[in-house]
Amino acid sequence: MRKVLFASVALVMLLSLFAGSAVAAEPKRADQLIQAQLGEVWGFYFGGYLPYERVDAWMYRPSTLGGWPFVDPPVVGTWWWTGGDSEIRRQSWPTWQYADMFGYYYTMFMLPRDEVWFPCSYPFKWKCNYIIDPYTIEWHSPATQPFELGMYWPWLDYDAAANPMDTVSPVEVWLYGETGWLWIIEFEVTGYYWKWTDIND
């Protein structure tokens, strides 16, 4: 009986040491800044977790009050909305909450299409137009739509002076394991996949 008790205590001590070192580990960042639009579906597959460890995916928009928050500058953007950070919101689907037997975690979800992640808002509520002078306005349409030629967000814009890849927003996806292991994937949100049904007027 004493041998079983000793073995149990030793196992608990080893596990607590391992968990403590995992919690103290620095978060790992993905290799590159990813360009994406709200409404896209993204899948994530990262390792380093314990076999069958509980892992959750979270989204977070860091503050831009002090400037662009990532080490890598925006790739396609020349301007970003300046404001505070968002709440951290859980995105995991209930069926994908655990790492596999090799310690890899996979999840997939759509980047939500709401103002939390791109504060410049929906079509006809555009808040990020930049007025250079009374006669010059940058329309800040961040991305073209692949399904219709010339369709910019948030409206049709054939003005050659407008920059179709201008305003961007930073977003992070956190893959957080219960032992504290954390991956951070950085996104440069370039726009919003909108449909004609988004326009109510």
Compute, in degrees rounded to 10, the torsion defined by CA atoms 108, 111, 116, 120.
Answer: 170
The torsion angle over the Cα atoms of residues 73, 78, 83 and 87, rounded to 10 degrees, is -60
CA angle (172 as vertex; 169, 173 as ends), nearest 5 = 140
Q: What is residue 98's DSSP assignment?
A: B
**Terminal Cα distance for the chain, rounded:** 77
Residue 92 has pLDDT above 90, yes or no: no
Model confidence pLDDT, tens digit, residues 124-169: 555 666 566 666 655 555 565 555 544 445 444 455 455 545 678 8
Q: Rounded to an integer, what is the distance from CA 9 to the centroid of its chain?
A: 41
Amino acid letter for position 32: Q
- Going from N- to C-terminal start, the domains of the chain cover 2-198
Q: Are 170 and 164 in contact (CB under 8 A)?
A: no
Inter-residue contact 123 to 140 (CB < 8 Å): no
Strand partners of residue 189: 36, 169
Nearest of 114, 117, 106, 120 to residue 42 by alpha carbon: 106
pLDDT tens-place string over residues 4-31:
444 444 444 444 333 333 333 567 887 7
For the entire predicted model, the pTM comes to 0.73
Yes or no: say if 164 and 143 are a contact pair by the CB < 8 Å rule: yes
* Rounded Cα distance, 121 and 125, in Å: 6
